[in-house]
Amino acid sequence: MIEKDNEELSVVRQSELLSIHRSGLYYKPCQENEFNLNLMRVIDEQFLDKPFYGISRMTEHLIRMGYWVNIKRVRRLYRLMDLRAIFPARKTTQPNKNHKKYPYLLRGLNITRANQVWACDITYIPMKHGFMYLVAIIDLYSRFVVNWGISNSLEADFCVEVLKEAIKQHGKPEIFNTDQGVQFTCQEFIEVLENNGIAISMDGKGRAIDNIFIERLWRSVKYENVYLHAYEDGLALYRGLKEYFEFYNYRRVHQSLDYKFPVELFRQAA
């Protein structure tokens, strides 16, 4: 669809003509056999309701549902889906020396305005004949999705692109919160935050519950859109998500926001 070597039309111009922003260019879905795709869909739905299910519990759950699986297969699918069960952090946990440790800055913080705190995460998205990954950045005060993108890999490139676009379009937050995924701890991602003077906050390992607001976003996206549509390909998924996020930001009332639209609160920062 996108011709990166086209001498007449730049990638940016091709994206504009297709109504796709650059972070949505990675539209070819990942492939797995039909059995694994079915398992991943079941795992995804169960994990949304029971995010504390580790590999052993999920394996038992699948066996009770009639699937002939072992823990080795479920462990591979967890890694492929980038799932990490919620569990209390142990005091004896040794620090990961592969990247600089950033503190969790949201504990006890009173979030009172838009662009005070943004949060970012990645989730697995099932499709009819494959799957993709969705990254989104949300303003915690207003629940406004400031940017998002899809990719067929967990490499950091598309996350960096989504972050740059978000800052270009909406300014910058005071604090940016993520988990300790490799996409968010890589040098390229960190440099964008540091170069813009944004304070970096990271959840403790195994504490995905700290990013609860974006976890709620995933639930809404999947139950209100993804699970209702068997998207055929990445382009159809992109267009479906584009329509949904426009609805989510501009026309979907939120009970936690006193039945206001996210955009109404987010515009207070303007």
Cα 212 to chain centroid distance, Å, stands at 12
Phi/psi of residue 122, each to 5°?
Answer: -125, 145
Tell me what percent of the residues of the chain surpass a pLDDT of 90: 59
CATH code where residue 49 lies:
3.30.420.10
pLDDT (tens digit, 9 = 90+) per residue, 64-90?
Answer: 999 999 999 999 999 999 888 775 544
Partners of 187 in the β-ladder: none
Residue 92 in domain: no
Residue 129 in domain: yes
Q: What's the pLDDT score for residue 175? A: 97
Give 160's contacts (C-beta < 8 A, 6+ positions apart). Answer: 186, 188, 189, 192
Residue 91 in domain: no
Of the candidates 193, 161, 188, the residue with the CA atom closest to the CA atom of residue 177: 193
Residue 94 in domain: no
Q: What's the pLDDT score for residue 146? A: 96
Give 223's contacts (C-beta < 8 A, 6+ positions apart). Answer: 48
Q: Residue 59: which domain range?
A: 10-86+99-270
Q: What's the pLDDT score for residue 221? A: 96
- The CA radius of gyration of the chain, in Å to the nearest whole number, is 19
Residue 142 in domain: yes
CA atoms within 13 A on the CB side of 226: 25
Residue 228 in domain: yes
Residue 156 in domain: yes
Instruction: List the strands of the sheet with 145-151, edge to edge.
Output: 145-151, 130-139, 117-127, 175-178, 199-202
Phi/psi of residue 14, each to 5°?
Answer: -60, -40
Number of domains in the chain: 1
Q: Write out the chain's pLDDT in tens, 270 residues.
A: 444 554 555 544 545 445 455 554 555 677 788 999 999 999 999 999 888 899 999 999 999 999 999 999 999 999 999 888 775 544 433 444 566 778 999 988 999 999 999 999 999 999 988 899 999 999 999 999 999 999 988 888 889 999 999 999 999 999 999 988 889 999 999 999 999 999 999 986 545 455 688 889 999 999 999 999 989 888 899 999 999 999 999 999 888 888 899 999 998 755
Q: What's the pLDDT score for residue 128? A: 87
